[in-house]
Amino acid sequence: MATDFSRTLSLLRQEKGISQRKGAAALGISQALLSHYENGIREPGLAFVTRVCDFYHVSADFLLGRSASRDGSMIDSEELYDGSAEKGSLRGSIMATLQKKLAVNTTGLLFDLLGRTNSREAITAAGDCIGATLYDLLRRLYRHSGGNEDLFATDAVDFDGGAVDAALLRSRAAYMKALAQAGELPPLNSDALTALPGIGQSTAQVIHNVDERAGK
């Protein structure tokens, strides 16, 4: 079964632009063994993990999926990854994996916090907001790829006219109303995020990236 380690190991090799055979030779193992590691069939020892870190210039925490930062540190606002600064330098699959990790971790934190409010209305409205955004992105991707839009119940004319956008606005209004009636939450600041390795780091990075785009 694929793990954070096996996926990262494979993606790092692809990012470097080398074959599995060359990667195995550089790491001092057989191609078959590297294939097992990359597919999660076998787990490596500490010595191999160390060689991989040295070869790809990453930390063990990054390799094992414990940190979104390649050096394993908690990233501050000046060091956060900015996709616009590395256009073309990351392959699509690696970029997708990074963005998925940021989205999944941040969404997880959001619903963990909402769970503490015991507000079904806020949780449902948040899910509706995210669902509407995903619907919009998926439908546009599906349309661009030439897919049959019969998969989607909302009429194409209504979709283009902003029906999903309107649904998102209604869900956002419901979310704000529910939050106004919910209990108090602990402060979500930089100290709180630092106490949540991985998840907090992803959330801080998402906040930073959106603030950067919103300020333009």
Of 91 and 28, more confident? 28
pLDDT value of position 189? 72
Instruction: Name the packing angle between helices 4-16 and 46-56 (round to 10°).
Output: 30
Residue that has been written with the tokens 């930089």 in this structure: 190
pLDDT band at 68 (very low <50, low <70, confident <90, very high): low
Summary mean pLDDT of the chain: 82
What is the identity of the amino acid at 181?
Q
| pLDDT 10s digits, 136-192 | 999 999 998 887 788 889 999 999 999 999 999 999 999 999 999 887 776 777 777
DSSP secondary structure of 146-167 = T--GGGSSS-HHHHHTTHHHHH
Cβ–Cβ < 8 Å for 105, 203: yes
CATH topology of domain 4-66: 434 Repressor (Amino-terminal Domain) (1.10.260)
CA dist., res. 19 & res. 13, Å (int)? 7
Domain boundaries, the chain: 4-66, 84-214
Phi/psi region, residue 67 (left: phi>0; alpha: psi -120 to 50; beta: rest), is beta
